[in-house]
Structure 1
Amino acid sequence: LTAGEPVLTPPFWGARMLEATPEAVLPFLNERSLYQFQWGFRKQGRSLDDFMVWARQELRPVLRRMLALCTEYDILHPRASYGYWKAAGEGNDLVLFDEGGTNEVARFTLPRQPREDGACIADFVRDIDDARRDVIGLQVVTVGQEASDKAREWFEADRYQDYLYLHGLSVEMAEAMAEYTHKRIRAEMGFAAEDDRDMARLLQQGYRGSRYSFGYPACPRLEEQEPILKLLDAEKIGVSLTDGFQLHPEQSTSALVVFNPQAKYFSI
């Protein structure tokens, strides 16, 4: 899968921090996901297009009100730690190395589709026996603890609707920050020109490569976030793992960023 792909060189090795304003992240907000899946509004027999026309009219004012409250109470703090490591595949293992390319710093054992030619993330980088190393991006993003704290405060004050709206918005803003950070990575790697100009299609993987978040079928083991948080020094942006390997604060995500053009989502 990597034959003929040029060896990439990132602008730096290791981790860097990134902060953004909610306004900068907002264009990457998946409104459909927010209205349908987080806020629970149903299509009720409408086509998706008709639903979105209705939602933009009826629900965008709610979104604007919630964003205004977030500004007033200083609730959303989008931050990321991201960076680049040398990588190779060894069977179903994705192996990360330091800048020299020989010292192993992390290893992820990933599932393979149970069929002939079944896909595995480790296939999207050169084999460990290859003299050349590929590059993998890592990222962890958060919108901070304040969102959970304020949501709980509103819940306890019987402001259930605002609680639900804020909780849903902060979850989707964390996703938007993940998209924002991934966009920064593609720009630094020189692929931004390949991004789909249409934001809805961009959010459906309309770009080169893929971002695999932990907990999804292609990388299901949440405990494998541990080396990522360590390599990215995630404590610096206030992100840690709970005993059950969940990210804390809750509105945070981590991911492996793969640059191979053939890398897309797949189910196991």
Structure 2
Amino acid sequence: GVPGVRLPELKQRRVKAATVEVEERAEEGHVRSDVAVDNPVPAPPFWGTRVIKGIQLKEYASWLDEGALFKGQWGLKGNTIEAEGRPRLRMWLDRLRTGNLLEAAVVHGYFPCVSKNDDLIILDEQGEERTRFTFPRQGHGRRLCLADFFRSEESGQRDVVGLQVVTVGSRIGEETARLFEADAYRDYLELHGLSVQLAEALAEYWHARVRSELGIAGDDPAALEGMFRTEYQGCRYSLGYPACPNLKDRAKITDLLRPERIGVQLSEEYQLHPEQSTDAIVVHHPQASYFNAGGRS
């Protein structure tokens, strides 16, 4: 490899989200969208955080978005998907298993919360503020904001928010870097693309677990394609996307979840390391998916 050459950034699967234009606050008081406020608040199975290690590939491999892998990451078209894509995918998954290159782990948690204006306020056991996230509000249309999906402080009720950080570990990244150094570009690009999608698959798999723990998985679509179109109740929003663009909020998630317990660190630029890791705010509100998918109604 060429000394000092940087590996290209990961292309993460983009959540289909509306572009949010943030406007200056009007003086005449606060705007709230028309999101329902009478949806039931689910009871979480526990409060606080849990660490889960040693998740086997077979548990989350079925959540792999093959379309995003073959077309998006690997750039395959038409017939080459069946002829080349599938055999290469099988080969890679075998290599990952036999080489023990995956170390899938999750830290997730449920936290009591309320909303106030554009803020989601995380509470401690006593109901005092622990930290808060401020989210942008659409400048027009439904004026949606992530905070609207949670019970307001004035309601006198508490809501629940899920947070998760998942990783497929550092070994797959080390193997990818080794291929890059060895000028094995095709292998490098394939494994790099696959590592991104495996982290996504793990996040999607865990998000499904969270929906079932919250008792809102009853409406999950039968087919995986429906899952990738987020036709289910509850959405996960990863930081950096239009609904929650502020990467600095990762520091708050890190404080709450302590993902160093699964080997995930936050860099000074607010990037997760190893890069085959994703974070998410999990919202149970039944209308949250519409906002996620770009304002369908």
| Pairwise same-fold verdict (TM > 0.5) | yes
CA deviation vs aligned residue, 1:195-246 (integer Å, no higher than 9, x gap): 1110011121121021100010000111101111121120100111111001
Q: What is the Cα deviation at residue 266 of structure 1?
A: 5.2
Unaligned 5+ runs, structure 1 = 44-50
SS of 1:65 mapped into structure 2 = helix
Q: Are 2:71 and 1:24 equivalent residues in the alignment?
A: no
SS of 2:221 mapped into structure 1 = coil
Contact 1:92 1:112 in 2 (8 A): yes
Separation in structure 1 between the aligned mates of residue 37 and residue 294 of structure 2, nearest angstrom: 24
User: Considering only aligned residues, what root-mean-square deviation do their CA atoms show, in Å?
Assistant: 1.5
1:104 matched to which residue of 2?
129
- TM-score, scaled relative to structure 2: 0.83
Separation in structure 1 between the aligned mates of residue 267 and residue 159 of structure 2, nearest angstrom: 31
Separation in structure 1 between the aligned mates of residue 162 and residue 125 of structure 2, nearest angstrom: 13
- TM-score, scaled relative to structure 1: 0.92
Q: Are 2:39 and 1:33 equivalent residues in the alignment?
A: no
Q: Supply the AA of the counterpart residue of 2:51.
A: M
CA deviation vs aligned residue, 1:129-162 (integer Å, no higher than 9, x gap): 2211111100001111111111111111121111
Q: What is the Cα deviation at residue 193 of structure 1?
A: 2.1
Contact 2:216 2:234 in 1 (8 A): no
Q: What is the Cα deviation at residue 4 of structure 1?
A: 2.1
2:177 matched to which residue of 1?
152
Counterparts of 1:1-268 in structure 2, within 5 Å, are 1-19=35-53, 20-41=55-76, 43=77, 51=78, 55-100=81-126, 102-264=127-289, 265=292
SS of 1:222 mapped into structure 2 = coil
Unaligned 5+ runs, structure 2 = 1-34
Q: What is the Cα deviation at residue 99 of structure 1?
A: 3.1
Separation in structure 1 between the aligned mates of residue 47 and residue 122 of structure 2, nearest angstrom: 12
Separation in structure 2 between the aligned mates of residue 54 and residue 195 of structure 1, nearest angstrom: 32
**Percent identity, aligned pairs only?**
43
254-263 vs 156-165, greater mean Cα deviation: 156-165
Separation in structure 2 between the aligned mates of residue 266 and residue 162 of structure 1, nearest angstrom: 33
175-184 vs 155-164, greater mean Cα deviation: 155-164
SS of 2:115 mapped into structure 1 = strand
Q: Which runs of at least 4 in structure 1 moved beyond 4 Å after TM superposition?
A: none
CA deviation vs aligned residue, 1:85-120 (integer Å, no higher than 9, x gap): 1111111111111233x2112211111111153100
